Amino acid sequence: MRYLPHTRQDIDQMLAVTGHADLNQLFETIPDSAKTKTELNLPDALSEWDLNAQMEELASQNTACRSYTCLMGAGSYDHHIPAIVPYLISRSEFMTAYTPYQPEVSQGTLQGIYEFQTMITALLGMDIATASHYDGGTALAECALIALRKSKKANKIAVSSLIHPAHRHIMKTYLGPSGYEIVEIPADKNGLTDVAAFKAMDGIAGVAVQSPNFLGNIEDLGSFRACADEKNCLFISSFTEALAHGLLKSPGYFGADLVAGEGQSLGMSKSFGGPGLGLLAGTRKMMRNLPGRFVGKTMDSKGRRGYVLTLATREQHIRREKASSNICSNNGLNAMTAAVYMAAAGKNGIREIARLNHDKAVYLKNMLVGAGFESVYNSAFFNEFVVKAPAGFADKRRELAEKHNLFAGVPLESYYPDMADHYLFCATETVSRQAMDLLAKEVQS
């Protein structure tokens, strides 16, 4: 096996030093009764070339193996990924390093993550950002836990029903054993979270609202901030499309205490849903309550600029059962990916890409409405929106996928039972007008 360097002679020499007769004897401390009686029943080892063939065969069973038009978002977005992003990220020094516990030989990871933290605070308008989390949903669940732990009296978290359904589901799982309660804030007729319904709630430790929300609509975060102030609870703002912040006012502008979201759009492939990038940011006041790692700037013994992991006393390896979270490994390489993407896009690039997303989505919505779909909401949106499809669209949608490699929207009925025939469409900068025109033509005929 090419990954195993030991020659017969090496093994003999080493066994002579350890005092064992053979490799099996190395395991003499394991009682025989504990040893397995059967050899591992796994397929025979493949050569690199056979592996390539077998994996390509598997990959080809996904439609994604051919170029396709992706008009689906819902938490996973199709964006252009500049060649330099995977190229730089595949550098061995980034990819095959461990968590930077020895800062003297980890300055590359550390400065990169420090720059990532800085750019995320700029993107979200927040004071501080952590070195990453698993994904948007788990980051949001951590925020709910922070709010609940901080509150001395309240034991409920108010959650917009227009937060990504999977994110809400994760919160429910995370909070399950804790005895905390989740109360959902219903949607109003504009496809926005009903702030009046939130006003009527009490005993709330924190309120979480996603913008743009799961239906694509841009929420009025300012009124939730004001209402949270009246209730003296934390305001958590979440998102699934990080690029929206290239165009929209930031959650920090509206005074969010905590922000959680998904950063996959910042240079990561969809990769069947993961790994993406959990983003978690807060105000300075929240610094010691946030979970996970931080990189901080400092100096070395000769007075030179350098970076270290800091504020580690919040973490599990020191505070153990009292830690702010159990997180250890995060999504470091994905954070580095986002850093490269944001550095390359820059202030103007991210703005332009964001505007293009919005332009394309508006065009697509107009075309669909022109082709007989019904516009459901009049609220402003970024790159996703809901339309009600004419009868028979479900079959048409399958046909479009099979014949044209075009994936037209995400059906919403499984998430909201009263939304039969409603679809969540997404258009990003990768979608051509030609593809959108084709869709309109196909659904009309």
Partner 1 sequence: MKSIEELNFPSDVKYTDDHEWAKVEGDLVSVGISDYAQDQLGEIVFVEMPEIGDSFGQGDEFGSVESVKAVSEIFLPISGEIVEVNSELEDAPELVNTDCYNKGWLVKIKPQDLSEMDSLKDQAAYLEMLKG
Partner 2 sequence: MTQPGTTGLIFNEPELWDKSREGRCGISIPRSDVPRADLDPALTGDAPELPQLSELDVVRHFVRLSQWNFSIDSGMYPLGSCTMKYNPKTNEVQAARKGFAAAHPLAGDEFSQGALKLMYELEQLLGEITGFPAVTLQPAAGAHGEFTGMLMIHAWHAKQGKQRSKILVPDTAHGTNPASASLCGYKSVNIKSGPKGILEPATVAEAMDEDTAGIMITNPNTLGLFEDNIKEVCDIVHAKGGLVYGDGANMNAVMGIIKPGELGIDVLHLNLHKTFSTPHGGGGPGSGPVAVVKDLIPFLPVPRVQKENDTYSFITNCPDSIGRMHTFYGHFGVMVKAFAYILSMGGDGLKRASQLAVLNANYIKESLKTTLDLPYDRPCMHECVFTDKGVQEYHISTMDMAKRLLDYGFHPPTVYFPLVVNAAFMVEPTETESKDDIDQFIEAVKAIVKEAASDPDKLKSAPYLPKVTRLDEVTAARKPCLKG
Q: Please give the residue ranges that form the binding site for partner 1 (CB under 8 A).
A: 288, 312-313, 318-319, 322
Q: Phi/psi of residue 79, each to 5°?
A: -130, 160
- We find the least distance from the C-beta atom of residue 316 to partner 1, in angstroms, to be 12
User: Is the CB of 128 or the CB of 215 nearer to partner 2?
Assistant: 128
Nearest to 256 by CA among 293, 210, 198, 306: 210
Q: What is the DSSP letter of 213?
A: -
Q: Which uninterrupted H or E stretch holds 110?
A: helix 107-124
Q: Please select the residue that binds partner 2; options are 401, 421, 438, 442, rule is CB under 8 A.
A: 401
| Binding residues for partner 2 restricted to 187-206, rule: CB under 8 A | none
- We find the least distance from the C-beta atom of residue 444 to partner 2, in angstroms, to be 19
What is the token pair recorded at 118?
């800085």
User: Is the CB of 60 or the CB of 313 nearer to partner 1?
Assistant: 313
Geometric angle at alpha carbon 343, from 65 and 215, rounded to 5° = 55
What is the token pair recorded at 143?
């925020």
Q: Helix, strand, or coil here: 439? A: helix
Residue 84 binds partner 2 (CB under 8 A)? yes
- Residue 214 near residue 163 (C-beta atoms within 8 A): yes
- We find the least distance from the C-beta atom of residue 314 to partner 1, in angstroms, to be 9
- Residue 280 near residue 291 (C-beta atoms within 8 A): yes
Q: Strands 234-239 and 258-262: what pairing?
A: parallel
What is the chain's length?
Answer: 445
CA dist., res. 209 & res. 187, Å (int): 11
User: Is the CB of 223 or the CB of 316 nearer to partner 1?
Assistant: 316
User: Is the CB of 164 or the CB of 231 nearer to partner 2?
Assistant: 164
Residue 218 binds partner 2 (CB under 8 A)? yes
- We find the least distance from the C-beta atom of residue 322 to partner 1, in angstroms, to be 8
User: Is the CB of 313 or the CB of 366 nearer to partner 1?
Assistant: 313
| Binding residues for partner 2 restricted to 335-374, rule: CB under 8 A | 335-336, 340, 342-353, 355-356, 358-360, 362-363
Distance, CA of 240 to chain centre = 7
- We find the least distance from the C-beta atom of residue 231 to partner 2, in angstroms, to be 25
CA dist., res. 420 & res. 418, Å (int): 6
Task: Mark residues 138-177: x for contact with partner 2 by CB under 8 A, - for none.
Answer: x-------------------------x-xx-xx-xxx-xx
- We find the least distance from the C-beta atom of residue 146 to partner 2, in angstroms, to be 13
The CA-to-CA distance between both ends of the chain, in Å, stands at 58
Residue 417 binds partner 2 (CB under 8 A)? no
- Residue 78 near residue 68 (C-beta atoms within 8 A): no
What is the token pair recorded at 245?
């912040």
User: Is the CB of 96 or the CB of 445 nearer to partner 2?
Assistant: 96
CB neighbours of residue 112 within 10 Å: 23
User: Is the CB of 319 or the CB of 441 nearer to partner 1?
Assistant: 319
Residue 95 binds partner 2 (CB under 8 A)? yes
- We find the least distance from the C-beta atom of residue 200 to partner 2, in angstroms, to be 27
Residue 276 binds partner 2 (CB under 8 A)? yes
